[in-house]
Structure 1
Amino acid sequence: MKIAGVDEAGRGPLVGSVVAAAVILDPNNPIEGLNDSKKLTEKKREKLFVEIQEKALAWSIAEATHEEIDQLNILQATFLAMRRAVAGLSIQPDKVLVDGNQIPKGLTIDCEAIVGGDATHAEISAASILAKVTRDRQMLLLDQEYPQYAFAKHKGYPTKAHFDAIAEFGVIEQHRRSYKPVKKALGLE
């Protein structure tokens, strides 16, 4: 049975896309060290990112943009990114394991939601790593464009440094306008 693990990165940040990944691992080509991406160092995640792409039977990375997040809400945008990731797999899985307590509506494949699955199921761990590394790389690119916001440090999360940058420099196009701190900065709250 081909099992795809699915996870996302970037639900909490105030800026950018939410990224999801789907991975079908090859049981004959195991990957050592898979774990919840948040429990791994950046260096280890980067190494595993390459290894997952080389050894997995299939993998796919997809996203929902900041505009889609504002239009749909973060939960529905996350589900959209997850559906896109599963649809992007080159092999159709028999079952999908999703990290969390909800299954993306609209998936026609047998699905199971697993709370903490990114730490207990290798397929979800692999998806978690692909999603987090991709999302972090997006923030590094945004940091090059807007260095005054320090996106490389806080990755768009609602930190004091991020709030201070918004207060000083304002909201950029990539900020999620449906999020309370951004609404407040725009005077819409």
Structure 2
Amino acid sequence: MMHAACKNDEGLSFVELIVSVLVSVIVIVAIATVLANSWQAQEQVTTVTQATNRGQLVSSTIERAMRNALFFEVTESGTVLRVRTSLSGDKKCQGFRITDAAAQFTWNSVTLTTSNTAWPSWQPGINAQGGTPYFVRTPEGSLSYTFKITTEAAPVAFSGDVAPRSVQETGSGGCW
């Protein structure tokens, strides 16, 4: 007597199990790769944003000092800018020093007379753009500045030209 076919075909065969595990692993690896790339891209965007914010702070502080400058001088190397402003109090005397890897800022007239290497550190990670000096006094009596902040993603470049709004005087006025 012939029996009807057994119902043993209802489970997964060994080959079907291996194929389903392999497909699952491929999908999980693809998702993990997308998540890792997204995380890395987010970190790069965050780094560039932070560098942009730091650079804008440096630029705006320099520009504010220069717009209110009564007298300013730039060292021959183009790394130091000293400004006597029309502002009162602590903002009257300001100094900026940028070297590879950091910017320094002081508004203390006593500090301005000392070696500028002793000025307080202000913003890290600032570098020159090629061989261009950080600060250049133009023949018209304005200031050009340029620097970049290097990040893992890409350097963020800053430059600007700013002219004093006040009539230029002579001498540091006791600032340095």
TM-score > 0.5 by shorter chain = no
Higher normalized strand content (fraction of residues): 2
Q: For the superposition of Structure 1 and Structure 2, which TM-score range results when normalised by the shorter chain?
A: under 0.3
Q: Which has the larger radius of gyration?
A: 2
